[in-house]
Amino acid sequence: MYIEIDHSSTLCAYMQIYQELRSRIISGAFVYGAKLPSKRVLAKECLVSIITVEHAYQLLCDEGYCRMKPRSGCYVKYCADSFFPVSDGQNDSVSPVVSAVLHIDNISFSAVSSLLRKVILDYGERILMRSPAGGCAELRDAICRYLARCRSINVSSEQIIIGSGAEYLYGVCIQMLGRDNMIALESPSYEKIRAVYTANGAVCDMLEMDSEGIRTTELEHTQAKILHVTPFNSFPSLITASAERRRFYLNWASQRNAVIIEDDYDSEFALNGKAPQTLFAQTADENVIYINTFSKTIAPSLRAGYMVLPKKILKQYNEKVGFYSCTVPMLEQFFLAEWLDSGEFERTINRARNSILSKQEYNQ
């Protein structure tokens, strides 16, 4: 099997081999259970060292595309429904990928520090600048590209607002929508959601849940004009709203002229197929605000999240709270932009998901 190595490329040889093999696995050229060429044979054909091929194979194994069998070889274990689509890293403005395990169970500090040093060198004094109010263009654009390729959310960068975590964005939402509104919440729900809204003077109506999400009768009886939901893996109940219940949420909001705040916590770690389609992507009514954060997918110390505003609400944001300065430092924003555009985000999630699945298989 021949893989042409471009020695003039800024992408190292093992990453070129990794990307080509990954592409062939995803396309079906190597089916589940197929054995990849031996490291020695592939190294000879590509005119590289065996160590280079080992690095490529190890990365494929780390991300769950393959598994190594002692004294046997490298075998494909790719299952399409359990993986994110991965960025090909071909954006001209993006630098070579830093291969690192960044999820919170096994943070590679050396990889993080390496990428941070690269950002400092590439962006120079720009990291000391004051951030634009909604966040820097590089990160907002990178989030737009990620949402389009992974969550079927197609928006413009002006609709992305960067903030220091989900809790900060909850506060921005209630100030934008009005503290005099009643907010409907899942019961039980993450306690800080209610705490933030209450601290801002809002009244919360706690709605009981069943195995499919918030009970329909509870929604029908509430006087709330804002609904805050965590459709995927609500904490602490771990309930994922059914497709039918999600449609009910959207119909309720449309009939009431209400707003839904969709807290997409933990959806990246869906194990049995892709995460359910977001409420934001399912409606054309422009009444859903989408919120997500990087604190779990990278590390809790990185206080960075984002919300996606429908264009109908964007004007309201600019008029009421658009004067707020962005609360995330430029260094962290540039780091996240590089991390997203390089495809490292999807690779990190795939590795984390593979680790969870391996533990489950071991315990069975």
In the chain, the N- to C-terminal Cα span, in Å, equals 37
For residues 35 and 70, is the Cβ–Cβ distance under 8 A?
A: no
For residues 114 and 122, is the Cβ–Cβ distance under 8 A?
A: no
Token pair in block for residue 192: 């800080």
**DSSP state, residue 234:** B
Go through the domains of the chain in sequence order and give each one's CATH number: 13-102+349-363 (1.10.10.10), 131-329 (3.40.640.10)
- Each of the 364 residues of the chain gets a pLDDT tens digit; together they read 778 888 888 788 888 898 899 888 888 888 888 899 999 999 988 889 999 999 889 888 876 788 888 888 999 987 765 555 555 444 433 332 223 333 444 456 666 788 889 899 999 999 999 999 999 999 999 999 999 988 889 999 999 999 999 999 999 999 999 999 999 999 999 899 999 999 999 999 999 999 999 999 999 999 999 999 999 888 888 888 988 999 999 999 999 999 999 999 777 766 554 567 899 999 999 999 999 998 777 777 788 999 999 999 999 999 999 999 999 999 999 999 998 888 777 777 777 666 666 655 555 5
How many whole angstroms separate alpha carbon 229 and alpha carbon 238? 13
For residues 36 and 74, is the Cβ–Cβ distance under 8 A?
A: yes
**DSSP state, residue 159:** G
How many whole angstroms separate alpha carbon 259 and alpha carbon 242? 20
How many whole angstroms separate alpha carbon 165 and alpha carbon 56? 35
What pLDDT, on the 0 to 100 scale, is given for residue 133? 94
What pLDDT, on the 0 to 100 scale, is given for residue 361? 55
What pLDDT, on the 0 to 100 scale, is given for residue 346? 76
For residues 105 and 355, is the Cβ–Cβ distance under 8 A?
A: yes
